[in-house]
Amino acid sequence: MICAGEASGDAHAAHALQAFLALPCSEPAPMPAPAPVEAFGMGGAALLAAGCELVVDNRDLSVIGFVDVLINYPRFLSRLAKLRRAMTARRPELLLIVDYPDFNLKLADTARELDIPVLMYVAPQVWAWRAGRIPDIVRRVNHLAVLFPFERTLWRDAGAQATCVGHPMVTALPLTLDREQARRRLSIDEATPLIALLPGSRPGEIRRLMPLLVGAAARLVAERPALRFVLPRAASIEATVLQAALGNALAACEVEPATRTAAMEAIRILEPGDQGTAVALKAADLAIVASGTATLETGLLGTPMIVVYRVAALNALLMRRLLKIRDIALVNIVAGRRLVPELVQEEATVDAVVRHAKHLLDDDEARAAMRADLSIIRERLGDGDASHKVAELMAKLMPS
């Protein structure tokens, strides 16, 4: 049984399932035959394509922050109950939970009651906030597959079984793709200044961040008519939702009608597939990115970036009381220092985004220095074999 709550977790789980299916039948240690395998649980398009039966589709549970969770709590409970019934009826040999801890750890409780081993892939960020959860997680999970070396040390010190598998994104990204190739694939001239806009993969992020990104784009186009933008659509966001958000954000821009029209013509939505986001990032001179996994993707590809984030006011108040770290962007956390600017909550204004964007667009040395700094990200994210390592852990935890 596999449970992944969001788009990134869905992709990680799908790759792990595919790697599990590809494991050889014979290994030095006893391992289950890789086929036939029955997989079911909660996920999205990626897990479905990998052959997992979706008892619950996670695309209707993609929310962010305490407030959204409270509003949607009855829906969460009904989905959880449905998954618990499926687990009890079908008795899987393993529960693989991917991120989404507040939901997935409740499911882990049921698994432990049924003597089903639990593997957690992508551990909660207890090093950032809510460290009090650590003993509870250690009790509920048999093994943790973590992404960063410092996490393995933290969890082992707490008494957990933990393995650092690295980050699956290292394998998934076309790291050999260069700027010229990326621009050819997008049919963009080499001399055209290009900014990639990544407003997030959840509806709440789109709602809160699209006006900021589009407002900055309109202001920049007013001063630089040759500037162009690419906006990759996350698979978890319906095309109509993104188009509507873009249209609403453009309509709300405090610019002249002619500038609004120019901005509309300058922003190009890229549909999911064929590594569209990676191609857009590699082709871009600069990216404006919602805080999250996308900052690691941008960093791995070496694209200079500005990180932005907004949540509901109550969420922001609660998070500020709970957070133990200064930076929120994963790319800065992994590096251990601030490599890229972060504009969060009240600092995330159109003026601030425009100011940082103009600086990076105009200063070749600043962009080159940021690219050089970002080279450390690949060193910190492992050898690119994460999915296979998770598959091996799955096999070892299952009854022989």
- Same domain? For 56 and 96 the reply is yes
pTM recorded for the entire structure: 0.77
- Same domain? For 117 and 187 the reply is no
Token pair belonging to 18 = 């595919």
pLDDT value at position 19? 95
Closest CA to 217 of 293, 281, 297, 287: 287
Q: Which residues span the domain enclosing 250?
A: 172-380
- Same domain? For 349 and 393 the reply is no
Residue 233 in contact with residue 267, Cβ under 8 Å? no
Closest CA to 292 of 76, 6, 2: 6
- Same domain? For 273 and 389 the reply is no
Dihedral sign (CA 140, 142, 145, 151): positive
pLDDT value at position 66? 46
Closest CA to 98 of 139, 58, 152: 58
For 265-315, write each residue's pLDDT tens digit: 999 999 987 678 999 999 999 999 999 889 999 999 999 999 999 876 666
Question: How many Cβ atoms sit within 10 Å of the Cβ of residue 118?
Answer: 23
What CA–CA distance (Å, rounded) separates 197 from 358?
Answer: 15
Q: Is 120 helix (H, G, I), strand (E, B) or coil?
A: strand
- Same domain? For 146 and 268 the reply is no
What secondary structure does DSSP assign to 258-298, as a single string? Answer: HHHHHHHHHEEEE-SSTTHHHHHHHH-SEEEEESSHHHHHH
Between CA 298 and CA 305, with CA 299 as vertex, the angle to 5 degrees is 65
CATH of the domain at 229: 3.40.50.2000
User: What distance separates the 2 farthest-apart alpha carbons in the chain?
Assistant: 69
> Would you say residue 64 has pLDDT above 80?
no
For 73-87, write each residue's pLDDT tens digit: 678 889 999 999 999
- Same domain? For 291 and 326 the reply is yes
For 310-329, write each residue's pLDDT tens digit: 876 666 555 655 555 578 88
> Mean pLDDT across the stretch 40-55?
95
Token pair belonging to 278 = 């990676």
- Same domain? For 351 and 391 the reply is no
- Same domain? For 85 and 197 the reply is no
- Same domain? For 245 and 347 the reply is yes
Structural domains counted in the chain: 2
- Same domain? For 116 and 243 the reply is no
Closest CA to 280 of 192, 377, 186: 186
- Same domain? For 70 and 160 the reply is yes
- Same domain? For 42 and 104 the reply is yes
